[in-house]
Structure 1
Amino acid sequence: MESTDRDDGPAFQSVFENRVRFAETDLQGIVFYGEYFTFQDEAVTEFFRQIGYGFEEMIDRGWQTHVANTELNYREGAELGDVIENELRVVEFGTASFTSEYRARRKDDSSLLADGTVTHVAVDLETDETIPVPDEFREAIAAFQGGLESIE
């Protein structure tokens, strides 16, 4: 299975850590695969919050994002009590969309547990129609990641 990581582009930002809870494990004692989608979503939410665009701020500005696609690759199992470091970076902008790469690593040994992508579209709150990704949002991401030139 090939990694979704690109060799070029912005550095991953560590945005969210979580300790594996019993409820997140399966009968094999490892994190149930579906939980990684929740971890990915929490990483996106925290990334937005850290750039000053939590969902409340987006709504105050009259727009929000909807997930258009998400993919995850499972690399290694995490177990009860493991601390997972969740990382994210925006790697591509379209007119009304942007794509982020996600990865989850076990904190104590940096083992890659899962990686993947998530694509969001910008949506007007009143019309529920797609809109161009606001320039201010693009600029906030660029500032957080170190510049737009690293984002396609």
Structure 2
Amino acid sequence: MDTADNTDDAAEADFQPVFENRVRFAETDQQGIVFYGEYFTFQDETVSQFFREIDYSYEQMETDGWQVHVVNTELNYRDAAEFGDVLVNELRVVEMGTASITFEYRVKRNADDQLLADGSVTQVAVDLETEEPVAVPDAFREAVAAYQGGLPE
């Protein structure tokens, strides 16, 4: 398979279930549904778990002298989750630039597979000391490619 085919395959890569959580009472609002801001926490937890899934943790980033900073995040709310619901958080890398990584995220209710929210988060790789943008290391790219069956554009 040539590189162009790999890129196309990765761009169409299926979402991977990465993080599962049960809605806690503290995450709900007065209407008894998950407060919208909590989904950003779920999204962040999913990205952190994704790094562990690909065997490239935050600790490995620090060892390699880099970290990531969130520069953009978006969420679209599709349906409500309630106290006690089990949520399946899914993620995939859809774009990787020289210094940026964009993830698509979605969360579904486990009981009925109902889509509750979807969106994206973009992070920029920065030098651990200077906090200036740096190229995403090849080892990270390789870990994503192995996990997703190729790299996105």
Q: Equivalent residue for 1:26?
A: 29
| Shift, 1:10, TM fit | 1.1
Counterparts of 1:35 and 1:88, CA distance in 2: 17
Amino acid corresponding to residue 82 of structure 1 in structure 2: D
Listed one character per residue, the Cα deviations across residues 18-54 of structure 1 (whole Å, up to 9, x for unaligned) are 0001000000000000000000000000000111111
Residue 109 (1) aligns with residue 112 (2): yes
Counterparts of 1:37 and 1:19, CA distance in 2: 15
Corresponding residue to 1:132 among 131, 135, 141: 135
Q: Equivalent residue for 1:75?
A: 78
Residue 88 (1) aligns with residue 91 (2): yes
Amino acid corresponding to residue 143 of structure 1 in structure 2: A
Task: Give secondary structure in 1 for the equivalent of 2:44.
Answer: helix
Instruction: Mark the runs of 5 or more structure 1 residues left unpaired by the alignment.
Output: 1-7
Task: Give secondary structure in 2 for the equivalent of 1:85.
Answer: strand
Instruction: Mark the runs of 5 or more structure 2 residues left unpaired by the alignment.
Output: 1-10
Counterparts of 2:105 and 2:88, CA distance in 1: 11
Residue 10 (1) aligns with residue 31 (2): no
Q: Equivalent residue for 1:53?
A: 56
Identity of paired residues, percent? 70
| Shift, 1:123, TM fit | 0.5
Corresponding residue to 2:101 among 98, 103, 123: 98
What TM-score results when the alignment is normalised by the length of structure 1?
0.92
Corresponding residue to 1:42 among 36, 41, 45: 45
Alignment root-mean-square deviation, CA: 0.8
Deviating 4+ runs (over 2 angstroms): none
Listed one character per residue, the Cα deviations across residues 79-122 of structure 1 (whole Å, up to 9, x for unaligned) are 01000000000000111101000000000110000000000000
The count of aligned residue pairs is 143
Counterparts of 1:58 and 1:76, CA distance in 2: 35
Counterparts of 1:30 and 1:124, CA distance in 2: 39
